[in-house]
């Protein structure tokens, strides 16, 4: 189940993954994943919006203005895609791909950071912040 959630949403995965340790660590991990996704989504939306504006400016040149005026949302997107110059398509696809690549790289780094933090806390400290070994020595 955890592997499916990791693929679908690392933010949700952080809450159910028992390897993440404490609730605070899980919440921190989820917030980092959420902010990583938001940044990537904003970048993708900016690139797609810019490409769409360039395509809209080229509608009359491509003779697709009549087709754009008719139809629903999907047809308008298809028409805008047809009106985009080839270099714009390539640049937009490259930038979107780069954004997704960086998002996935950061996702792995975030996962490793919070797994390491949970392991450190579990093996070294109690919830009070005291060393487990020192606490056992005091009791003995």
Give the rounded percent of residues in the chain with a pLDDT score beyond 70.
81
CB 21 within 8 A of CB 118: yes
What is the mean pLDDT of the segment spanning 93-105? 96
Model confidence at 20: pLDDT above 80: yes
Please tell me the predicted confidence (pLDDT) of residue 132: 52
Q: Where are the domains of the chain?
A: 2-139
Question: How many residues are listed for the chain in this entry?
Answer: 140
Mean pLDDT of 98-106: 95
pLDDT(23) > 90: no
Q: Which residues make Cβ contacts (< 8 Å) with residue 79, sequence separation at least 6? A: 59, 64, 67, 68, 71
Helices and strands in the chain: count of H runs, count of E runs? 8, 0
Residue scoring higher pLDDT (137 or 121): 121
Q: How far apart are CA 76 and CA 104, in angstroms?
A: 31
Report the SS3 class of residue 125: strand
Query: Is the pLDDT confidence value at 92 over 80?
Result: yes
Compute the mean pLDDT over every residue in the chain, rounded to the nearest whole number: 82
Return the SS3 of 121: helix
């Amino acid at each position: 189940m955890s592997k499916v959630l990791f693929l679908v949403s690392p933010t949700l995965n952080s809450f159910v993954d028992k390897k993440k340790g404490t609730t605070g660590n899980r919440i921190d991990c989820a917030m980092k994943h959420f902010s990583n996704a938001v940044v990537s989504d904003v970048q993708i939306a900016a690139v797609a919006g810019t490409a769409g504006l360039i395509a809209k400016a080229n509608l009359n040149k491509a003779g697709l203005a009549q087709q754009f005026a008719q139809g629903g949302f999907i047809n308008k997107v298809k028409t805008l895609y047809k009106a985009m110059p080839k270099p714009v398509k390539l640049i937009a696809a490259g930038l979107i791909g780069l954004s997704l690549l960086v998002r996935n790289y950061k996702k792995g780094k975030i996962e490793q950071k919070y797994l390491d933090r949970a392991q450190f806390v579990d093996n070294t400290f109690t919830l009070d912040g005291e060393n487990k070994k020192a606490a056992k020595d005091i009791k003995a």
